Chain A
């Protein structure tokens, strides 16, 4: 695995450079906004990556909570399957808000179930706790990028840096929730901290769909979605957007991987130090 990481890091750096070149040079200039619209190629992929990371944090937190009891573990698996099935059926039976594509809703339901069972298969109980911490931390970094690049786009286009619009406000609240989650994990010494943090993450994740669907449900100043929401986009712009998202996803994956290894190492050192202190106290050394 140690050899794979540098290769992936080089490939990611190349992909990020290619994405930057496409965004600044190749993508066509938008007619009304001009060059400032190119912020979109960093703002939107960062937002999607943050949402994905927070969703992973949510699923890992649930896993951490339910695995402590075999019955709740089985029950949660059944509930996740039921939600995926109901989402697929509901997408084609229930009348969705205008612009929301049925296939996008169904795919989201299936995707959540696949991620849940993927985490269940590949991570131990301790692993799910570390995964939750790592995804929240990296998610906050990407959410910070969203909150910085958004106003830099809004100032020349809207004439204001910020407005208390539902999309913007709910994104700020999301960032604050996960920042408080990280502060809880950083400063609480209690043995129950991972459980409390997991519970906070489950409630915090409720804000993710609110942020995502707010532009469909409420009247908002934020531009309407261009994918899966009935909006239209030049295919060349879509290509640049997807390449940049892929680049940011690879980058986020690598950062999460490094942070995960760092956390595992940190916990091993803390455990060794605790055993050392115990041995010193007993005078067995």
Chain B
């Protein structure tokens, strides 16, 4: 059972890590757009 849970948890850890990476990039890009608008 431990291997089963490890597999399911690691699957979602990988997907969530990628989604967090995308969210960070998106927020960085939004900051850049804001600073360009201020110029």
Given contacts A148-B7, A149-B10, contact A276 B15 (CB under 8 A): no
For residue B33, give the distance in angstroms from its CB to the closest CB of chain A: 6
User: From B15, which residue of chain A is reached at the shortest CB distance?
Assistant: A141
Of A31-39, A111-119, A193-201, A217-225, which stretch is located at the interface? Answer: A31-39
Is A155 touching B22 in the complex (CB atoms < 8 A)?
no
In the bound assembly, the distance between CA atoms of A258 and B25 in angstroms comes to 11
Number of B residues with CB within 8 Å of any CB on chain A? 20
Question: Scoring B residues 14 to 28 as 1 if CB is less than 8 Å from chain A, else 0, what string do you get?
Answer: 110011001001100
- Residues of A within 8 Å of B7, CB to CB, are 39, 42-43, 148-149, 152-153
Given contacts A149-B10, A262-B29, contact A141 B18 (CB under 8 A): yes
Given contacts A38-B4, A46-B11, A149-B10, contact A262 B19 (CB under 8 A): no
A269 within 8 A of B: yes
Is B11 touching A149 in the complex (CB atoms < 8 A)?
yes
For residue A143, give the distance in angstroms from its CB to the closest CB of chain B: 10
In the bound assembly, the distance between CA atoms of A255 and B19 in angstroms comes to 8
B38 within 8 A of A: no
In the bound assembly, the distance between CA atoms of A141 and B21 in angstroms comes to 12
A239 within 8 A of B: no
Number of A residues with CB within 8 Å of any CB on chain B? 30
Interface positions, chain A 150-171, Cβ under 8 Å from B, are: 152-153, 155-156
A232 within 8 A of B: no
Interface positions, chain A 12-44, Cβ under 8 Å from B, are: 20, 24, 35-36, 38-39, 42-43
Is A20 touching B8 in the complex (CB atoms < 8 A)?
yes
In the bound assembly, the distance between CA atoms of A38 and B4 in angstroms comes to 7
For residue B1, give the distance in angstroms from its CB to the closest CB of chain A: 6
Question: Scoring A residues 71 to 107 as 1 if CB is less than 8 Å from chain B, else 0, what string do you get?
Answer: 0000000000000000000000000000000000000
- Residues of B within 8 Å of A35, CB to CB, are 1, 4
- Residues of B within 8 Å of A124, CB to CB, are none
User: From B18, which residue of chain A is reached at the shortest CB distance?
Assistant: A141
In the bound assembly, the distance between CA atoms of A256 and B28 in angstroms comes to 19
- Residues of B within 8 Å of A24, CB to CB, are 8
Is B15 touching A39 in the complex (CB atoms < 8 A)?
no
Is B11 touching A145 in the complex (CB atoms < 8 A)?
yes
In the bound assembly, the distance between CA atoms of A46 and B4 in angstroms comes to 15
Given contacts A42-B7, A152-B10, contact A276 B36 (CB under 8 A): yes
A266 within 8 A of B: yes
User: From B13, which residue of chain A is reached at the shortest CB distance?
Assistant: A148
Is A152 touching B36 in the complex (CB atoms < 8 A)?
no
Among all A-B residue pairs, the 8 with the closest Cβ atoms? A152-B7, A39-B7, A149-B7, A141-B18, A148-B10, A145-B11, A152-B3, A156-B3
